[in-house]
Structure 1
């Protein structure tokens, strides 16, 4: 670890997390407003993204904006902020996180980031749970989404020639331990089902409520499943078409 960097070295992976005034400020901000489990998750995601950029051919051959990748990965779960005043009452957590990160960079970088880089940051965070879209975006967006997915899959990441070996995985997780991350994922996403249900019906978050209930322990599960059925997008779309027939010839 260099004197100016808050991040440890990762010699097995042969990567170094970039450190500059903006990245260090974002790291401090993330620590102030999220849990240790989330901070460590984000640092693992940064590390996996950097590893994939170096060793996964489609990314290794691209001219990737590393600062944008690091900031996006580092701040991608600001939508889970423990400082609730940062969050909306009506937006998906990914959108909250993207908005928070964009505002942070606009304020902290003092106009040094142009509109394109700001959009990369926003897209990478907003789309990080939607790989079917993210994979068709810019390399930075792809790298962030893959790095985040890699923290859940590790050496089992379904990539051809997956560069995440067991040894590299162990080094990254050893540097940034999970410290209860699995429980936090369940409790956070079930909490979103409970507190902001309208933001979860059309995405993967609702599945946590269906599996773990609204309290993360099975409570309210059956009622939640029924609520999801009532708000199923297929029913809403087809019901809308049926209702519109009254105004059609």
Structure 2
């Protein structure tokens, strides 16, 4: 079994078939070109878990209208904000999720002739592109993603499956990946040090564009692991986070406005 070349392998235990249409394989080549092997494997595992959930998680399996093409493409490209081979793809001022959503949307527009082309699932119109953008931009925010369109929910749940595997149903009852399914997917696309790479990547965002991390979970990596993933400059980053604490900023803003109330 190979994780670097298409066609993709079969999954007799999971009973899934990876997409093979032109748009998906083009996106696969794009992610492979610009992201590390560990990140690519992470994204492919997330796609595989979505196909498992489409098959047996009732809210997804019973929804005949769900746009599966949009989901699998969102999952395949959801971490393009981690692109390592071309700094021109990512920004210095956006959260990585927003970078990823922008990159994916631009890629689809280019591949489909401005968003007007078709894939197995139909035309990539403005609504469909926005659906994909939302799915990627919100993939780290389940408290919002779980209450949006089913495609956004499916994307977020599939990424949760990547992090929780057979333990997913403890967090989302009825949303299950079996041990055998998990092992089958992992055997095809091993982690390759993904946990350590993710830590380094997120701590790097705290170092290189800290303003994009202060209102979200990424800052917690800097608070715990410092700016180098090993504790370096942790105290300074913790101070920066405290100075930009949202409660203090909101309370301070209201206090400053009190002068206009009399």
TM-score (norm: length of structure 2): 0.92
Q: How many residues align?
A: 247
RMSD, matched Cα = 1.3
Q: Which residue of 1 is the match for residue 53 of structure 2?
A: 52
Q: Which residue of 2 is the match for residue 224 of structure 1?
A: 237
Q: How far apart in 1 are the matches of 2:34 and 2:6? A: 20
SS in 2 for 1:16: coil
For residues 75-224 of structure 1, the aligned pairs below 5 Å read 75-82=77-84, 83-110=86-113, 111-112=116-117, 113-157=124-168, 158-224=171-237
Task: Spell out, residue by residue over 1:181-202, the C-alpha distance to the aligned partner (whole angstroms, 9 max, x if none).
Answer: 0111100000000001000011
Q: How far apart in 1 are the matches of 2:24 and 2:221? A: 32
Unaligned runs of 5+ in 1: none
Q: C-alpha displacement at 1:124, in angstroms?
A: 0.4
Q: Which residue of 1 is the match for residue 30 of structure 2?
A: 29
Task: Spell out, residue by residue over 1:43-100, the C-alpha distance to the aligned partner (whole angstroms, 9 max, x if none).
Answer: 0000111111111111111122111011100000000001111111100000000000
Q: How far apart in 2 are the matches of 1:120 and 1:225? A: 35
Structure 1 contact 98–126 (Cα < 8 Å) conserved: yes
Q: How far apart in 1 are the matches of 2:11 and 2:142? A: 27
SS in 2 for 1:85: coil
Q: C-alpha displacement at 1:5, in angstroms?
A: 4.7
TM-score (norm: length of structure 1): 0.96
